[in-house]
Amino acid sequence: LKRSRRRLTGIDREYLKFCSLLERQGLARRFGEGPISYSERLQQARPELAERVRAVTRAYIRAGFVDDTPEEIAELKHAVRRLRTA
Residues 22-61 have pLDDT tens digits of 999 999 999 999 999 999 999 999 999 999 999 999 999 9
Tell me the residue type at 36.
Answer: I
Residue 4 has pLDDT above 90, yes or no: no
Query: HSE of 4 in the Cβ direction (CA atoms, 13 Å)?
Result: 1
Helix axes 35-45, 10-23, angle to 10 degrees: 30
| SS3 of residue 6 by DSSP | coil
Torsion sign across C-alpha atoms 27, 29, 33, 35: positive
pLDDT value of position 63: 87
